[in-house]
Amino acid sequence: MKNPRAIQRNCPCFNGRCQMTKTPHKQGRPSKICPVCERAFQWRKKWARDWSQVRYCSHRCRALAKAANRQDSHV
């Protein structure tokens, strides 16, 4: 089986749905900017309940932000 990412890059898509993998494209989803790494990240289904409270793109960025806050409060 071919790599699905390689297939998606090379596919001729119509109607916002990939014809080769039959999966919907991720366009039209809300996105935010992570304050730690300053990268954009998109809405995920597991964040559906509390998207308004999501601030960081990953556990790593959340931990780095907490460490920076602790360090600033000790100085």
Q: What is the pLDDT of residues 26-46, one digit of tens each?
A: 678 899 999 999 999 999 999
Distance CA 75, CA 64 (A): 17
pTM greater than 0.75: no
Distance (Å, whole) CA 33 – CA 38: 6
Residues in the chain: 75
pLDDT classification of 25: cutoffs 50, 70, 90: low
pLDDT more than 90, % of the chain: 43
